[in-house]
């Protein structure tokens, strides 16, 4: 079952524009929403949830128009937005008391299990928690009402490696039943190497790719060669970096030809992001 479908989402600001953002997510999967800072990840999530007024496009959740029955679908989703800075001087047990009242399926046993797992002290005020602990608290709130779709903005940034690993394990556990899905945005692509099934990659407000992670990686190749080899492939490269010994560049796998003599390697998600960003920068510079 398709839990989330975004069609041609559009939002124009004076200096930035989301251009026909479309992707979808089936039940039982984790989708990483990646892109460099300012690419439009948070804006897309805000548009999806109605925090920002759309200029166009459709948001479907659980097979229906989200905005037609916002209240019912919000009961079925868990949301975390980066920068947990709400009610800093309020004890977290007070915030929980308020939040829990809004959810029909709030499960206090589940909530308590997260409090224990994350070592949260409910008597503390939010401002007394470290950045990582704030994120854990926000996630505990998002995960305690048996949400079918988790929409998490930068949930791993600010967490130490142990906590990040624990969280990624938790994500896997959450989708194990096959009923729930997670969409999480991040610019730390190493988080996705092990846990994401799908990747949606956004760059400068435009979706570059939205597909299975392995398919995405397979569709690109990292090529390395000497300065003398560069002219042969340069026009086919998405972008490249030159250095004293030659160059490294990213190419669409389909653009490779048998006669190429360059070294071909599998790129990481970071490589794909970095070389696409370099291409965008080059376009912007040439436009100026």
In the complex, the residues that contact other proteins under the rule CB under 8 A are: 46, 49-53, 70-71, 74-75, 79, 81, 85-88, 90, 94-95, 97-99, 101-103
* Smaller CB separation from other proteins, 50 or 63: 50
Q: Which of 235, 223, 227, 240 shows the shortest CA–CA distance to 274?
A: 240
Q: Closest distance between other proteins and the C-beta of residue 124, in Å?
A: 16
Cα separation, 59 vs 192, in Å, equals 24
* Smaller CB separation from other proteins, 75 or 113: 75
* Smaller CB separation from other proteins, 126 or 223: 126
Q: Closest distance between other proteins and the C-beta of residue 46, in Å?
A: 7
* Smaller CB separation from other proteins, 69 or 116: 69
* Smaller CB separation from other proteins, 81 or 198: 81
Three-class DSSP category at 236: helix
Q: Closest distance between other proteins and the C-beta of residue 118, in Å?
A: 20
Place of tokens 């003398």: 228
Place of tokens 């060669």: 225
* Smaller CB separation from other proteins, 29 or 87: 87
Q: Closest distance between other proteins and the C-beta of residue 70, in Å?
A: 6
Q: Closest distance between other proteins and the C-beta of residue 134, in Å?
A: 12
Q: Closest distance between other proteins and the C-beta of residue 207, in Å?
A: 21
Q: Closest distance between other proteins and the C-beta of residue 78, in Å?
A: 10
Residues 6+ apart with CB under 8 A from 216: 199, 201, 209, 269, 272
Read out DSSP for 162-197? HHHHHHHHHHHHHHTTSS-EEEEEES-THHHHHH-S
> For residue 255, how far is the Cα from the chain centroid?
28
Nearest-10 crossing angle of helices 92-102, 108-117: 150
Three-class DSSP category at 45: helix
Cα separation, 247 vs 116, in Å, equals 50
* Smaller CB separation from other proteins, 12 or 241: 12
* Smaller CB separation from other proteins, 152 or 195: 152
Q: Closest distance between other proteins and the C-beta of residue 57, in Å?
A: 15
- Burial call 260-288: b when 16+ CB within 10 Å, e when fewer: bebeeeebebebbbbbbbbbbeeeeeeee
DSSP strands (E only) in 68-155: 77-80, 149-153
Contact status, residue 140 vs residue 115, Cβ threshold 8 Å: yes
């Amino acid at each position: 079952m398709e839990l989330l479908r975004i069609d041609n989402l559009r939002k124009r600001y004076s200096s930035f524009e989301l251009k026909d953002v479309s992707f979808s997510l089936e039940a039982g999967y984790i989708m990483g929403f990646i892109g460099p800072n300012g690419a439009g990840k948070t804006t897309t999530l805000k548009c999806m949830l109605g925090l920002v007024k759309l200029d166009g496009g459709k948001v479907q959740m659980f097979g229906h128009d989200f905005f037609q029955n916002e209240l019912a679908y919000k009961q079925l989703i868990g949301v975390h937005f980066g920068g947990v800075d709400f009610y800093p001087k309020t004890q977290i047990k007070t915030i929980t008391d308020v939040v829990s009242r809004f959810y029909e399926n709030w499960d206090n046993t589940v909530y308590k299990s997260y409090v224990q797992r994350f070592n949260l002290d409910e008597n503390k005020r939010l401002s007394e928690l470290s950045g990582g602990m704030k994120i854990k608290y926000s996630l505990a709130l998002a995960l305690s009402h048996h949400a079918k779709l988790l929409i998490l903005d930068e949930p791993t940034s600010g967490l130490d490696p142990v906590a990040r690993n624990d969280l990624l394990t938790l994500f896997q556990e959450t989708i194990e039943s096959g009923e729930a899905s997670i969409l999480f945005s991040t610019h730390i692509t190493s988080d996705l190497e092990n846990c994401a099934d799908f990747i949606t990659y956004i760059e400068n407000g435009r979706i570059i790719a939205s597909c299975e992670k392995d398919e995405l990686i397979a569709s690109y190749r990292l090529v390395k060669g000497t300065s003398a080899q560069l002219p042969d492939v340069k026009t086919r490269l998405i972008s490249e970096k030159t250095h004293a010994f030659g160059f490294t560049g990213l190419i669409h796998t389909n653009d490779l030809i048998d006669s190429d003599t360059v070294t071909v390697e599998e790129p990481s998600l970071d490589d794909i992001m970095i070389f696409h960003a370099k291409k965008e920068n080059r376009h912007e510079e040439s436009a100026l």
